[in-house]
Amino acid sequence: MTGPHDLVDKVLAELPAWLPAQRWFGGKDRPVSAVRPLRTGVLSAADPLLVHLVVEVAQADRREPYQLLVTDRVDNYDATTDPELAGRLLDLIAENASVDGLVFEHEPDVRVQTGLRGRPITSEQSNTSLVFGSQYILKLFRKLTLGENPDLVLQRALHRVGCEHIAQPLGSITGSLDGQTTTVGMLQQFLPDAVDGWAMATTSVRDLMAEGDLHADEVGGDFAGEAQRLGQAVATVHADLQRALGSAYADDEDIDRTVRAMVTRLDSVVESVPELAPYVPALREAFEQARDTPGEIAVQHIHGDLHLGQVLRTVHGWLLIDFEGEPGAPIAERTALRSPLRDVAGMLRSFDYAAHQLLVGQPEDHQLAVRALEWARRNRAAFTEGYAEAAASSVGDPRGRGHLLRAFELDKAVYEVAYEYANRPEWLTVPLSSIARITGEGTR
């Protein structure tokens, strides 16, 4: 019989080959040069073994910590694929257990049921989420960020002020990493009836595309009512974040820094994507115009990576999930106070994507392109309308901040250009045509 240390040794030896095959592994762009353990926690020392492992993955000059749960019970060592071992994690949270330096805790106002089996959900991209019964979902962060994870911090704060548009946070797993208390897992209420906004929106687009002669406001699958309620939900979450964690106003220096960051991104993207070049003057002008935004610009904690895939439709309305911010951005940027209009801009971009996704890779069809644009316009307007209805007074109607909103949206589109160019060249036309349209239209 092998002990935990033999198991860890065996796993470490296989990791350089194993990691790149995992969906959640963020470093697929270059080979793994070395893997070394940062901390080992033995959750179960005997049959079956269950070991919590944080490893540092070295790839050329990049070093990043990843979380693993390993066992000898399944072939690939990944304990999250074993329903009973996954259930063990939930039990530890229910017991407020502390094991080998790992602290499992449930939130003070809840009781967690034990004895459930856990199964991984398939839609998760960069982490591993386990669902227990139809009640709980445990997100195990894979690439770890030192310190408390903003996802947990923000959702706890929102729950404290009674926010109705999040799934209730129920517990956490933390460990010490580099001397810092670091969030490695987060337990939330699971909503079995939920559907993500992307699936909802593309259902509507599909319905419109299948109609010959009807307009976006005439088809049965019209999404505008949903988009409007979604706008209200996002505005309400922003107002709740403001109530819970406060807000400030951006000064001239903040605005200058923001504009310069957008221009810098543009310059670097156009270097590698020549298709963007024709729009550079108009984009620069749009970014500079952000300085002319009338009145004070409120900044606060925001979602940071809001798009249709980060919202869930339930029978009780829309919820926002995954408050981690843009996973690729540095933690300082992810936790900084920013204008909530960035989230609005992210969602507006997402409506453009949903409208055009059926056209990608298809022969050009003017009729469908017109329909897609019609859908995007209608639902972007409905979303903005809903947002304005429920926005906090310091944020106000986004349409009154046209220059700033437009700059955020274009900045996001420039980011998408870089992403699509590197990963999905067929999709490049989606952000490019949006940039052409938005810069051509001027301020809405």
Give contact residues for another protein (rule: CB under 8 A).
83, 117, 119, 122-123, 131, 133-134, 191-195, 199-200, 203-204, 206-207, 210, 217-222, 224-225, 313, 315-316
Q: What is the residue whose two structure tokens read 């990043």? A: 64
CB of 113 to another protein, least distance (A): 13
Of 210 and 329, which CB lies nearer to another protein in the complex structure?
A: 210
Whose Cβ is closer to another protein: residue 224's or residue 417's?
224
Nearest distance, CB of residue 389 and another protein, angstroms:
12
CB of 150 to another protein, least distance (A): 27
**Residue in the structure block whose two tokens are 């810069």:** 439
Which residue in this structure is represented by tokens 């050329």? 60
- Exposure string over 312-329, b if 16+ CB within 10 A, otherwise e: bbeeeebbbbbbbbebee
Residue whose CB is less far from another protein, 199 or 337? 199
Name beta bridge partners: 333: none
Q: Which of 148, 192, 236 is nearest to 156 (CA)?
A: 148
With a CB cutoff of 8 Å and minimum separation 6, the contacts of 425 are none
> Residue 192 Cβ, how far from another protein at the closest point, in Å?
4
- Give the shortest CB-207-to-another protein separation in angstroms: 6
| Smallest separation, CB 379 to another protein (Å) | 11
Pair 434, 348: CB distance under 8 Å: no
Report the half-sphere exposure of 90 (CA within 13 A, side-chain side): 27
Nearer to another protein, 38 or 194 (CB): 194
Separation of alpha carbons 288 and 286, rounded Å? 5
Q: Which is nearer to another protein, 66 or 132 (CB)?
A: 132
Q: Which is nearer to another protein, 388 or 438 (CB)?
A: 388
Nearer to another protein, 201 or 262 (CB): 201
Smallest gap from residue 212 Cβ to another protein (A):
14
The helix (H) or strand (E) run that includes residue 199 is helix 197-209
Tally of CA atoms within 13 A in the half-sphere of 249 that contains its CB? 8
CB of 203 to another protein, least distance (A): 5
In the complex, minimum distance from the CB of residue 386 to another protein, in angstroms, rounded to a whole number: 12
Residue 130 contacts residue 80 (beta carbons within 8 Å): yes
The answer to whether the beta carbons of residues 390 and 231 sit under 8 Å apart is: yes
Ramachandran angles phi, psi of 207, nearest 5°: -65, -45
Q: Angle CA(293)–CA(397)–CA(264) in degrees, nearest 5?
A: 40
In this complex, which beta carbon is closest to another protein, that of residue 130 or of residue 269? 130
Minimum Å gap between C-beta 86 and another protein is 10
Q: Between residues 134 and 264, which has the closer beta carbon with respect to another protein? A: 134
**Of 184 and 200, which has the nearer Cβ to another protein?**
200
Alpha helices in 19-149 (DSSP H): 83-94
Minimum CB distance to another protein smaller for 193 or for 285: 193
Helix runs in 49-187, H state only? 83-94, 150-160
The answer to whether 345 touches 415, Cβ cutoff 8 Å, is: no
Distance CA 347, CA 258 (A): 19
Q: For residues 220 and 363, which CB has a smaller minimum distance to another protein in the complex?
A: 220
Cα distance between residue 234 and residue 315, in whole Å: 17
Q: Is residue 49 within 8 Å of 71, Cβ to Cβ? A: yes
d(CA 279, CA 286): 11
In the complex, the smallest distance separating the C-beta of residue 83 from another protein, rounded to whole angstroms, is: 5
Do residues 287 and 266 make contact, with C-beta atoms less than 8 angstroms apart? Answer: yes
The least distance separating another protein from the CB of residue 44, rounded to whole angstroms, comes to 20
Locate 112 and state its tokens: 């967690």
Burial (Cβ within 10 Å: 0-12, 13-18, ≥19) of residue 376: buried
